[in-house]
Structure 1
């Protein structure tokens, strides 16, 4: 199949497929007589694996390590289950840290949003006032000034 067919089958952009080839995550396909790449089922399966790992937000370095385990095993169970588990545990730790950060961000935005009463009778917006104050180094609702 051509690269456009592989892209359509996996939902991965053509340029991303080429990038994965350059990074060694996806082996270079055979070339047809006209020079076009000729992808086959193993390419499709490997690209689907990469896509799934990326959907889990795994860094490409970790994806490469997982692919290495798959390539190494090739029939026998030569994978180091502990290492694979550790990779997933590290990713879970990164996700949890981002969740914590996102929850803190949500709290800050809620605090900022609380500065708006929706009326603006005096023509002043509490949110904008706080953002301008913060830009001047003053305390705002979302970032309490520490003394």
Structure 2
């Protein structure tokens, strides 16, 4: 396969060009080979890795969790038990966020239900936002 430019890689993996540079800078993506004139030359493996990272980010995994998953995805390191622990920690985070969102939904729904359609001098939503620690 012929090498890909950074723009072609970004397009193939469905990410922004700056995202590729950022992932290289934080060493989530391996540095590619360089052409004679210094341009990056990516391969098929870069597309797969970048797509993996993009999908993991879409699912809310942190950079450090993705780093761990990538390490565990290496043929010599594959460990379903270790992957399960990373996924379990992420699931706990997701469940915590869902609980927070459910509380927020209840708070907002209750506050909005107290709003009237007239031009009252006081607005429950604005009052809620002005009051610290009301969650």
Question: Considering the TM-score relative to the shorter chain, is it more than 0.5?
Answer: yes
Question: Larger C-alpha radius of gyration, 1 or 2?
Answer: 1
Matched-pair contact (CA < 8 Å) for 2:10–2:17:
yes
2:6 equivalent in structure 1:
3
Partner Cα distance (2:84, 2:42) in 1: 31
* One of 24, 34, 39 as aligned partner of 1:36: 39
Partner Cα distance (2:129, 2:12) in 1: 49
2:120 equivalent in structure 1:
124
Partner Cα distance (1:9, 1:61) in 2: 24
Task: Return the structure number with greater relative CO, CA threshold 8 A, min gap 6.
Answer: 2
Give the CA deviation at 1:125.
5.5
Q: Counterparts in 2 of 1:74-89, with a 5 A limit? A: 74=76, 78-89=77-88
TM-score (ref. length: structure 2): 0.87
Q: Counterparts in 2 of 1:30-69, with a 5 A limit? A: 30-69=33-72
> Where does structure 1 differ by over 6 angstroms across 4 or more consecutive aligned residues?
none
Partner Cα distance (2:131, 2:85) in 1: 45
What's the C-alpha RMSD, in Å, of the aligned pairs? Answer: 2.0
Partner Cα distance (1:83, 1:64) in 2: 13
Matched-pair contact (CA < 8 Å) for 1:26–1:46:
yes
- In structure 1, stretches of 5+ residues that fail to align are 138-142
Give the CA deviation at 1:133.
7.0
> Number of residues paired by the alignment?
131
